[in-house]
Structure 1
Amino acid sequence: MNAGQIEDGVLLDRITSGDQDAMARFFERYSPMVYSVALRVLKDSGEAEDVVQEIFVRVWKNPAAFVSGKGSLGGWLVVVARNRAIDTLRRRRPSDPIELFSLPSSTNLASEAERSVLMQKIRVAMHELPVEQQKSVELAYFEGLSHSEIAQQTGDPLGTVKTRIRLALLSLRKVLTA
């Protein structure tokens, strides 16, 4: 069992005892994934938000609905989100045939949602960096330039370029570990 599963179990135990902070953390961790599945099925952001709310209210009222021995919490939430979204489709158009939403077996939706949240954090953090640091990091990591090439291209001293990149990476690390 990995550390993420242990954390999920602790969160669920705390939710069972009525801990609202644990529920907020749980929602923050899994709502992007649940929303993306619901949105893919429904193609309507309002209905997808309703599905997310319904699922998390259900978890708040009955956290024991998840049985840890039968799979991951993220996987369970994906299945619940898919089923709720399909139910919503059926209520919307009962006479229209429903194309079942199939999850590709090669994709781990929990990992993809985590990656998406992480990438969003990085984007926000990059925009908060000073312009010189942003430019240096972009040239180094997205254009593959060496520190010397960046100094030559920008006209800045090599030590300044190295310091900017170092400070930017420290700032990004703080955001990612917070």
Structure 2
Amino acid sequence: MPESLQNPEGGLARMKDSGAQSPTDAELLRLIAQQDEKAMASLYDRYARIVYSVALRVLRDPHEAEDVMQEVLMQVWRGASSFIVGRGSFGGWLAVVGRNRAIDVLRRRHPSDPVDEVALPSSLDLANEAERSAMMEKLRAIMQNLPQEQQKSLELAFFEGMTHSEIAEKTGDPLGTVKTRIRLALISLRKALQA
């Protein structure tokens, strides 16, 4: 058993005993780097739904989305010290890593199977729970305020895993226009999230 769990004076137990608010992401990452399982459980509770929701949006398969979520969180457990605090939002980083992993899974599927036919309906609806997350709600609100062209380009790139060239081909817009729309949308999202 890790020392942080054996010793109530260390790690997350000490933070809770001191009457502090819930630990910051940076504090959790520092403790996870020391193999503190309680800190990992707290981080899991905080971000698992977000990663799952992003993966589910890309894959449309609950089992594969859950596998991606577990992979991403295991990456945090194995390399918590690799995230540089202050360089950006940890939740945002996890969402991007989850999205990228989901796109990798999507691309590994049998190439002759159309993506729409691979998705299986599920009685599980964990995505609705994930939507309750404050971050996801804020992102949705921001996305709705973007111009329609930026919104569509961003959704095709981030949720369907299309490249800029594929988006340009699908929409009939010039490649430079697609790149500009995505860049402007990301700048708007970043500004709104930092506000």
- Which of 135, 156, 163 is the matching residue for 1:111? 135
* Cα shift at 1:94: 4.0
How many residue pairs were aligned?
102
Q: How far apart are 1:31 and its partner, in Å? A: 0.2
> Given residue 108 of structure 2, which amino acid in structure 1 is its aligned partner?
R
User: Which portions of structure 1, spanning 4 or more consecutive aligned residues, are displaced by more than 3 angstroms?
Assistant: 93-98
Given the superposition, is the C-alpha separation of residues 70 and 80 from structure 1 closer, same or farther in structure 2, using an over 3 Å criterion? same
The Cα of 1:27 is off from its aligned counterpart by 0.3
Instruction: Name the SS of the counterpart of 2:24 in structure 1.
Output: helix
* Match of residue 161 from structure 2: none
**What CA distance in whole angstroms lies between the structure 2 residues aligned with 1:25 and 1:47?**
23
C-alpha displacement of 1:111 = 1.4
Deviations 1:17-45 (A, max 9, x none): 11000000000100000000000000000
> 1:93 is paired with a residue of what secondary structure?
coil
**Normalised by the size of structure 1, how large is the TM-score?**
0.51
Deviations 1:114-161 (A, max 9, x none): 9xxxxxxxxxxxxxxxxxxxxxxxxxxxxxxxxxxxxxxxxxxxxxxx
Q: In structure 2, give the amino acid aligned to 1:40.
A: R
Q: Report the aligned-residue RMSD.
A: 2.8
5+ long unaligned stretches in structure 2? 1-20, 116-132, 139-195
Question: How do 1:132-171 residues align onto structure 2 when only pairs under 5 Å count?
Answer: none
Q: State the TM-score, normalized to the length of structure 2.
A: 0.47
Q: String of CA shifts for 1:90-127, please: whole Å, max 9, x gaps.
A: 111346798xxxxxxxxxx861269xxxxxxxxxxxxx
Confirm whether residue 15 of structure 1 aligns to residue 32 of structure 2: yes
Larger Rg: 1
Structure number having the greater helix percentage: 1
TM-superposed CA distance for 1:5, in Å, is 10
Q: Give yes or no for contact 1:34–1:77 (8 Å, CA) kept in 2.
A: yes
Partner residue in 2 for 1:165: none
**Aligned residues with identical type, % of pairs:** 53
- Correspondent of 1:78 among 76, 90, 95: 95
